[in-house]
Amino acid sequence: MASKEDTDRRQFAEYFVARRDAVRRTAYLLCGDWHWADDLTQVAFTRLAAGWHRIRDRQALDGFVKTCLMRAYFSDLRRVWRTRERVVATPPDLMTTGDGTDDVTRRLVFTTAMRRLPPRQRAVLVCRFYEGLDVAATAEVLGCAQGTVKSQTARGLEALRAQLGDAGFELPADPARTFDDRPPSRTAMPTAVLTTEVNQ
């Protein structure tokens, strides 16, 4: 009969495999860099592993991971802003050839526009329109007031709309349609390393 520790390890490993890619994509939308996104994702899951045995409600796991991810992101920004993120002065010159590159161009322009937003506005937009969280859930994940979420959403959408407009694109009526990313191939993070944190 499996011990509780073995059961916890197995459950954590299953959750990690099931949610790793989604969390990584969210991290990329926050920071705009896949290597940094890998770091943030690993930090978030490591913190989840450390607190796994304290989470009684398994339905709360996604919210816990999102909170860990956001805190890791803002912590990184405070420590290494100047060396980890570089705001691009102008969008790159991108040619469209009618062979399917329009979608690639649109995603690149969108990524550039997102990186120009202040971190708090970017995080709010990711929560609201990529993660699909409502105002209350976004406020809980980010640790701020609902009024702050509303104001940051309005300002972020206005800024994003202006950035895309300058590049010749329009923000769709449903902003969630814009959050369409395509992650490149990657080396899987070591599940075994993370599972060693469970019940420690």
Mean of the pLDDT values across residues 167-181?
69
Q: Rounded to two decimals, what is the model's pTM?
A: 0.74
Answer yes or no: is pLDDT of 46 > 80.
yes
Average pLDDT in the 1-17 region?
84
* 3-state helix/strand/coil string of the chain: CCCHHHHHHHHHHHHHHHHHHHHHHHHHHHHCCHHHHHHHHHHHHHHHHHHHHHCCCHHHHHHHHHHHHHHHHHHHHHHHHHHHCCCCCCCCCCCCCCCCHHHHHHHHHHHHHHHHCCHHHHHHHHHHHHCCCCHHHHHHHHCCCHHHHHHHHHHHHHHHHHHHHHCCCCCCCCHHHHCCCCCCCCCCCCHHHHHCCCCC
Domains located in the chain, CATH noted: 4-195 (1.10.10.10)
Summarised one tens digit per residue, pLDDT across range 116-140 is: 899 999 999 999 988 889 999 999 9
